[in-house]
Amino acid sequence: MKNYLLLILFLVPAISVSAQNISINATGTAPDTSSMLDISSTNTGLLIPRMTSAQRDSIILPANALQIYNTTTKSLNIYNNSRWESISSKASTNNLVNVYSLSDLPAPVSSAITLDATKMYIFSGIVDISPNYLSLNGAGLRGMDPAKDGVMSSVSGGVLRSTAVSVFIESLAVIPLSATTKAYDFADATGTKFCNLFSGCSVVEVGIPSLGVGQISGFKAITIVKNYWNCKDGVKVTGTVGKFASTLNFITGITAGSAIEFLAGITIDDIDLGNNYFIYTGQTGVKVNSGAVIDRGIMTSNMFRGVSTLLTGFDSYTPGWQMVSNTNIPNSRAFAFLYMTANSTSTSLPVSNTYYKIAGTTTTVNAKKFSTTSNKITYTGKTPIIGKVFVIVGAKAPANNSDFSIVIAKNGVIIAAPIGSIAASSNNQSFQITFISELDMSTNDYVEVFIKSNNANASAITVEEMQFRISE
């Protein structure tokens, strides 16, 4: 023992002892009176115990303030109130927080782990936070590998939650672990925040059916891009929303509900669904509930395989929607066709060379993005179109040397050209007039067919037959 003591004294330049205080330095300076151990050096440091996370966790009854260097996470760890906390080496200059386990996150309070709004939390591996949830509080979440990095919990409700803050998540999977768990519960009633779920934000069940993706309410814009969902139910969208965009997502495993559902209480400006892949047996692809108010929507190049009901509550011809190149969904177009046969209602022509609307009851064959009444077709779509107009009228001349012309009127105003006419006909002679034209149409514009007598030989005419079509 004496030999070891001599060796220590020989190796340490100077050890000063003052009552209960000890100093170690090269100058023999006395210890600071406020310090139990005062170590000073200008060319060496203090080396504390180094160990892996597993070795750290095997320490029996660690004391508060116990410190180690974690070789697994490459960070200083300190034990505080029954948990190990990570101390970032760049805490003062870097907003990144590396998360390897629950202990790397703020302590839960009533199941809520409230994140630091100024930080970006980088997850490595799947971190089990059961039975808690993450209150994002404006913080960002990111994984490095979306197939390996994520968070899971058995909490009732959303695993990730936020209120009145923007949401940014990238390459981070969520695994809901109970029948009452869902991945997301995000809300913004201010209309000023953004919800971004970017590339690799998967929602995956591991043999335990859950509530699925969850609910997103409000936000100025919701953007869901390049994600994978394999869960019982999809996303529910409600509140007052500026724009909702879902693009290049792979959606499978839906066994209850819909992949994307717009709830009854939603008011939304724009919806953009493009290049999504819906692949599951049965159920619904996209659902719009009664009471949902949607101004504009577009669906482009979405693919469906095995899905029983592709769309519920709307279709290609719903006003405000445009659909192109979606599996088994007709491309959107506007068209209307009405006719009358054996009409006996006379059209009065009291003043020659003056147009009057053709009288009679018409029957509608079809009307998509149009509404119809007798001899009137009204455009109900929300995107301006060029309407192609086709009219055929058939009648009998009511007097000798009578001749007639037909035109269309837009919003009650006669369009002077082109016109369709016949030459003078003898009394009771049958004739047909054909009319073809095009015109610009916007929402609520309406078109009617008018006729006039070109001389004073006829004061009335009965148009017995008419075909009237408008198509985009």
Q: Enter the tokens of residue 300.
A: 């482009």
Q: What is the pLDDT of residue 89?
A: 52
The backbone torsions φ and ψ at residue 254, rounded to the nearest 5 degrees and listed phi first, read -70, 120
Nearest-angstrom CA–CA distance, 138 and 356: 65
Closest CA to 185 of 156, 163, 215, 208: 215
Residue 282's Cβ-count burial label (10 Å; 0-12, 13-18, 19+) is exposed
Domains of the chain as residue ranges with CATH: 2-39 (no CATH), 94-324 (2.160.20), 335-471 (2.60.120.40)
Count of beta carbons in the 10 Å neighbourhood of residue 312: 14
Per DSSP, the three-state class of 53 is: helix
The backbone torsions φ and ψ at residue 116, rounded to the nearest 5 degrees and listed phi first, read -80, 120
Mean pLDDT, consecutive 10-residue stretches, the chain (472 aa), reads: 43 56 76 75 84 90 89 84 70 75 95 96 95 97 92 97 97 97 98 96 95 98 98 97 98 96 96 98 96 96 97 95 96 96 95 95 95 96 94 94 94 94 87 95 97 88 96 94
Q: What is the pLDDT of residue 7?
A: 42
55-97 tens-digit pLDDT: 998 999 898 988 889 888 778 888 888 778 777 554 444 788 9
Count of beta carbons in the 10 Å neighbourhood of residue 256: 13
Give the sign of the dihedral formed by CA 90, CA 92, CA 96, CA 101.
positive
Q: What is the pLDDT of residue 20?
A: 67
Q: Kindly give the pairing relationship between strand 83-87 and strand 75-80.
A: antiparallel
Maximum Cα–Cα distance for the chain, whole Å?
Answer: 143
